[in-house]
Amino acid sequence: MASRKVYGGSNVPVLLHSHNDGISCSNGAFEALLMSNSTSCFNGKRSMVNFEDACGGNSQGMSFYRSHDQEEHGDDDLDDCFRQPEKKRRLSVDQVQFLERSFEVENKLEPERKVQLAKDLGLQPRQVAIWFQNRRARWKTKQLEKDYDALKASYDSLKSNYENLLKEKDQLKAEVSSLTGKQLHKENVSENSETSKPMEPSQPLAQPDPVPEKKPPTIICKQEDLSSVNSDVFDSDSPHYTDGVHSSFLEAGDSSHVFEPDQSDLSQDEDDNLSKSLRHVVYNFPKLEDPVYPDQSADCGNYEFPVEDHALWFWSY
């Protein structure tokens, strides 16, 4: 409180006894004030000086109430002669509150509004403009933080869903392999029994096959092909999944892309070999495209998807 300039006004010390009382406008009145040239309800310029006087020069904890704006106010031509080198001073709490309310109404500053605010707050119009610029910058920074948090939450959710789907895929692949083997075995048995009947008259002396389970080479190839197909169906995009989090995030966001195998790779014969009765449950799987599943899950009759496997329900955001 050493060399503080004191400006004459003595009628407003009460204004800053309480921060909230410094600006007594209601919100409605505040908006009206912003658009009008009516008498200001804020006497920022002189009130700060008088507040300090009212505080008995107690600068401890009251540094916000220094009379910075007097030093910077262009109206005080007399003071320009004695002005010390410019030092940055914070706006008072009341000024900031007033500006904040104005910012909430409109974060852009029209020239008339700027002049009116400057007049009401006892600041230079440029100070008001600068405050709005900085305020917009802070607002943008906070928005970016919010956006980042939202995106991160979305990403975490998608990643979790994707990992669940990977587990589900492995389970389904195992089921397909198991059931395909069983089905082929059944077919081999039936084919051997059918083909052996007509051969009996012509080959009465043929020795019966002691190991009927042995699969013909062509069938084995088919099984391998099927296995390969199944692997291709799920793994064709695996570089996208497995390399880093970004790719998985992007890929998982589009379920149609993740599970969109080329059905033509699976022959109709193999497809027919899968029991239709084992497939119908697949079509009840939520939100996954139907064409994907008939070839991939052959054991849905007794396979229950865990609750977390419905994770695609969350993909809507």
Q: Which positions touch DNA (CB under 7 A)?
A: 61, 63, 68, 72, 86-91, 96, 108-109, 111, 114, 126-127, 129-138, 140
Quick check: 50 and 10 in contact, CB under 8 A? yes
Which lies closer to DNA via its Cβ, residue 135 or residue 215?
A: 135
Q: Which is nearer to DNA, 129 or 219 (CB)?
A: 129
Between the CA of residue 8 and those of 58, 154, 155, what are the distances in Å? 20, 59, 60
Residue number with CB closer to DNA (148 or 314): 148
In this complex, which beta carbon is closest to DNA, that of residue 92 or of residue 297? Answer: 92
Least separation, in Å, of the C-beta of 133 and DNA?
Answer: 5
Residues 6+ apart with CB under 8 A from 213: 185, 188, 189
Contact yes or no for 312/161 (Cβ under 8 A):
yes
Under 8 Å CB-to-CB from 149, ≥6 apart: which residues?
Answer: none
Question: Which residue, 143 or 190, is less far from DNA as judged by CB?
Answer: 143
CA angle (266, 268, 273) in 5-degree steps:
95
How far apart are alpha carbons 246 and 252 in whole angstroms?
A: 10
Instruction: State which residue, 140 or 152, has the beta carbon closest to DNA.
Output: 140
Minimum CB distance to DNA, residue 308 (Å): 39
Closest distance between DNA and the C-beta of residue 25, in Å?
20
As measured in angstroms, the least distance from the Cβ of 75 to DNA is: 15
Least distance to DNA, CB of residue 117, Å = 12
Residue 71 CB, nearest approach to DNA (Å): 9
Tokens linked to 75: 């109206």
CB of residue 143 to DNA, shortest distance in Å: 10
Q: How far is the CB of 247 from DNA (least distance, A)?
A: 27
**Distance set, CA 4 to CA 8, 78, 82, 90, 273 (Å):** 13, 15, 12, 15, 95
In the complex with DNA, the residue whose CB is nearer, 89 or 159, is 89
Q: Which is nearer to DNA, 86 or 304 (CB)?
A: 86
